[in-house]
């Protein structure tokens, strides 16, 4: 088993290094709130420099372990605090879930209550590669609605970010009694825009690294904006693999945008096995304080074509006095004829 865990660990590190070396990216600040709710998948993009964002909700779960004759209910709250700083592509993330679990051992008619953090972690996420940083790709086709809305293979090229952080196990946590106080956590997050209203997010996670029970996870989520863009729906699959616990979970839900900085959401989900059998739901919201400011770029640092058209070769030669930089002689003659007609 140790050999298998070491193999998984080495594979994860190889993937991480291969993705991290070749790419540098730019984050994409949005005028509308960019929330990871209502699912558990993590977007590749940061919230933006100067943005403070809270994502929180109330959760309820029925968890029954049929082979062990256990029945339990969980109630609690989850909250995520995100802050973009230093660069547009960097953010710090705190994630916490505090729950109360009432367990009944039906074979012995014994009740037990467990209360603590089931999730308590802090980390940094950095956007390595953004396919939309190319301004030519982001330009719309002014002559074809179909060209702007049809699926293209280049849409499969994802934005890629990496996450490094730690999971904290403070005090006598009944959910993780054998874990150390701090254990490393790493993740790769990707995000592809499959169309103007369809987004695919995937996460590969390695948690509790170096403990007796390291945990591998994947999360795949597809979100779709409805005809009314303030409404969106999603479906999600989460896989968990560890010696302590393994499962395959499915979620679906809906979100509504009330303003550019406030979103409310609802989601439900379930597992596909009975050890334990899980049925759960959550109701929450996301809100941000937007202190983002665009950074001014001096004209000396701007690329050709970023602010106006490209300057043509020989534009400033003596024989080009009758033309303007970036405008061909043919186009200049058309403009001159148009100006004469207006004058007459």
C-alpha separations of 342 from 260, 327, 332, 339 in Å: 45, 21, 16, 5
Phi/psi at 5 (5° precision): -65, -40
Q: DSSP labels for 211-242? A: SSS-EEEEEEEEEEE-SSTTEEEEEEEEEEE-
| Cis peptide upstream of residue 270 (ω within 30 degrees of 0) | no
Q: Select from 2.40.160.40, 2.40.50.140, 3.40.50.720, 1.20.210.10 the CATH code of 2-290.
A: 2.40.160.40
Provide CB contacts within 8 A for 325, sequence distance 6+. 311, 312, 315, 316
Q: How much is the pLDDT for 131?
A: 85
Question: For every one of its 344 residues, what pLDDT tens digit does the chain have, with 9 covering 90 and above?
Answer: 444 445 444 444 434 443 333 333 344 678 889 999 999 999 999 999 999 999 999 999 999 988 888 899 999 999 999 999 988 899 999 999 999 999 998 888 889 999 999 999 999 999 999 887 765 555 565 555 565 666 666 677 899 999 999 999 998 999 999 999 999 999 999 999 888 889 999 999 999 999 999 999 999 999 999 999 899 999 999 999 999 999 999 999 999 999 999 999 999 999 998 889 999 999 999 999 988 777 666 666 666 555 555 555 555 554 444 555 556 677 777 788 888 787 76
Question: 190-218: b or e for each residue (b if 16 or more CB lie within 10 Å)?
Answer: bbbbeeeeebbbbbbbbbbbebeebbbbe
Whether 254 contacts 268, CB under 8 Å: no
The secondary structure of residue 204, as a DSSP letter, is E
Rounded to two decimals, the pTM is: 0.75
| Cis peptide upstream of residue 276 (ω within 30 degrees of 0) | yes
């Amino acid at each position: 088993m140790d050999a298998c865990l070491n193999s998984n660990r080495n594979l994860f590190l190889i993937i991480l290094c291969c993705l991290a070396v070749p790419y540098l990216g730019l984050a994409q600040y949005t005028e509308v709130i960019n929330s990871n709710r209502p699912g558990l998948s993590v977007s590749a993009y940061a919230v933006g420099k100067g943005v403070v964002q809270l994502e929180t909700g109330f959760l309820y779960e029925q968890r029954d372990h049929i082979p062990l004759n256990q029945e339990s209910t969980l109630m609690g709250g989850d909250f995520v605090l995100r802050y973009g700083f230093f660069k547009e592509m960097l953010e710090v993330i705190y994630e916490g879930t505090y729950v109360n679990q009432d367990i009944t051992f039906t074979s012995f008619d014994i009740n037990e209550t467990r209360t603590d953090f089931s999730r308590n972690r802090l980390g940094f996420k950095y956007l390595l590669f953004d396919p939309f940083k190319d301004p030519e790709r982001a330009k719309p086709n002014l002559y074809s609605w179909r060209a702007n809305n049809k699926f293209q293979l280049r849409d499969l090229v994802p934005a890629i970010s990496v996450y490094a952080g730690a999971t904290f196990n403070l005090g006598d946590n009944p959910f993780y009694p054998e874990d150390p106080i701090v254990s490393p956590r790493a993740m790769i997050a990707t995000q592809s825009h499959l169309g103007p209203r369809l987004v695919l997010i995937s996460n590969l996670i390695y948690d509790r690294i170096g403990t007796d029970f390291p945990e591998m996870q994947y999360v795949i989520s597809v979100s779709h904006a409805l005809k009314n863009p303030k409404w969106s729906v999603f479906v999600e699959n989460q896989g968990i693999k560890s010696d302590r616990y393994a499962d395959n979970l499915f979620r679906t839900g809906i979100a509504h945008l009330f303003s550019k900085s406030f979103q409310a959401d609802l989601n439900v989900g379930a597992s596909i096995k009975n050890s334990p059998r899980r049925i759960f739901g959550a109701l929450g919201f996301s809100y941000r304080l937007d202190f983002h400011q665009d950074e001014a770029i001096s004209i000396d640092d701007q690329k050709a074509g970023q602010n106006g058209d490209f300057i043509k070769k020989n534009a400033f030669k003596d024989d080009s006095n009758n033309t303007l930089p970036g405008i061909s002689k043919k186009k200049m003659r058309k403009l001159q004829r148009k100006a004469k007609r207006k004058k007459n």
